[in-house]
């Protein structure tokens, strides 16, 4: 019998309005949808802004799946690891049921892309980030890059960044796209974000950045996904989708992302799910 050690974790005591992947925000507030200049495909009537990504447009974007079903988004950060949100993989999630799919634009197109199992998870529960180590490397897709730690050149308030994910495309009803969605979201200043979420303690920390505006932003299933900018032919990931309002993309409720520009990003990671111990004679 294989033994799998699971290190007990103090539960994350943050007030998260929108934590559980797959859940749908309860109180619809009836906002006017604004297709707007979202950078998405304007034929797509839905907001939270986006449109279909083209096949191969953002090759590093990953689908994090539980028992073969998309649960969260992620990004390939090295040939053997994928970054996602910690709340996507925390207990009672069983690492044995977890796979990541990289290089697949349409989740229904099961023959495309690479499917990998997850062997080991390092996570930062406070900053809601996790790195999933894959059982086999992915060598034909360029991983996303990160900004130089401690810098903010890519974080100018008002500038646009791209968000990609397979999250819900309707703020009021469950509507999961099979094709990867993309949208351009404006970045906010830290002061503005703090003010927007002042009424919810612990919602916004100095390791977060905020992006989005009414009708444009992340939703359930986008968690763990990348917020990034393209410079030349390189993609730089500046944020990891973490949380937001109970109803997605409402006015005054910008989405919150773990910032990948903070100096300690990746340094605060601790092992949460170790590799199963090798089977010994006594076990088998």
The catalytic residue positions are: 87, 128, 223
21 binds ligand ARG (CB under 6 A): yes
Q: Please, what is the minimum distance in Å from the beta carbon of residue 219 to ligand ARG? A: 5
221 binds ligand ARG (CB under 6 A): yes
Q: Please, what is the minimum distance in Å from the beta carbon of residue 220 to ligand ARG? A: 4
Closer CB to ligand ARG, 124 or 222, in the complex: 222
181 binds ligand ARG (CB under 6 A): no
Closer CB to ligand ARG, 70 or 114, in the complex: 70
197 binds ligand ARG (CB under 6 A): no
Contact pick of 107, 244, 265, 272 for ligand ARG (by CB under 6 A): 244
Strands (E), the chain: 51-52, 61-66, 69-78, 81-84, 98-102, 114-124, 129-134, 160-165, 181-186, 208-211, 226-231, 234-243, 255-259, 270-273
Give Cα 284 to chain centroid, integer Å: 38
Any residues with CB less than 8 A from the CB of 252 and at least 6 apart, and which? Answer: 196, 214
Give the C-alpha separation, 216 to 163, whole Å.
10
222 binds ligand ARG (CB under 6 A): yes
Q: Which strands sit side by side in the sheet containing 160-165, from one edge to the other?
A: 51-52, 181-186, 160-165, 226-231, 234-243, 255-259, 208-211
245 binds ligand ARG (CB under 6 A): yes
Contact pick of 218, 237, 259, 260 for ligand ARG (by CB under 6 A): 218
241 binds ligand ARG (CB under 6 A): yes
Contact pick of 76, 95, 101, 219 for ligand ARG (by CB under 6 A): 219
Burial (Cβ within 10 Å: 0-12, 13-18, ≥19) of residue 270: exposed
Closer CB to ligand ARG, 19 or 47, in the complex: 19
Give the C-alpha separation, 149 to 89, whole Å.
25
Binding site for ligand ARG (CB under 6 A): 18-19, 21, 72, 167, 217-223, 241, 243-245, 248, 255
């Amino acid at each position: 019998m294989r033994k799998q050690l699971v290190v007990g974790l103090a539960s994350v005591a943050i007030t998260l309005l929108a934590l559980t992947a797959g859940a749908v925000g309860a109180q619809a507030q009836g906002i006017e949808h604004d297709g707007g200049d979202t950078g998405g495909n304007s034929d797509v009537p839905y907001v939270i802004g986006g449109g279909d990504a083209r096949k191969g447009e953002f090759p590093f974007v990953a689908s994090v799946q539980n028992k073969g079903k998309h649960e969260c988004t992620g990004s390939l950060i090295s040939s053997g690891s994928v970054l996602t949100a910690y709340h996507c993989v925390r207990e009672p999630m069983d690492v044995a049921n977890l796979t990541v799919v990289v290089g697949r634009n349409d989740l229904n197109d099961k023959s495309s892309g690479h499917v990998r199992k997850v062997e080991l998870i390092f996570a930062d529960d406070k900053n809601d980030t996790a790195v999933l180590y894959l059982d086999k490397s992915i060598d034909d897709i360029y991983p996303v890059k990160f900004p130089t730690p401690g810098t903010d050149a890519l974080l100018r308030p008002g500038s646009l960044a791209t968000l990609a994910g397979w999250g819900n495309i309707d703020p009021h009803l469950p509507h999961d796209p099979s094709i990867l969605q993309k949208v351009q979201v404006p970045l906010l200043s830290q002061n503005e974000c703090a003010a927007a979420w002042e009424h919810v303690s612990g919602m916004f920390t100095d390791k977060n950045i905020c992006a989005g505006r009414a009708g444009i932003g992340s939703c359930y299933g986008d968690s763990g996904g990348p917020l990034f900018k393209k410079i030349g032919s390189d993609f730089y990931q500046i944020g990891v989708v973490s949380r937001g309002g109970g109803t997605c993309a409402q006015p005054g409720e910008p989405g919150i992302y773990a910032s990948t520009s903070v100096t300690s990003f990746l340094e605060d990671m601790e092992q949460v799910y170790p590799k199963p111990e090798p089977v010994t004679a006594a076990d088998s």
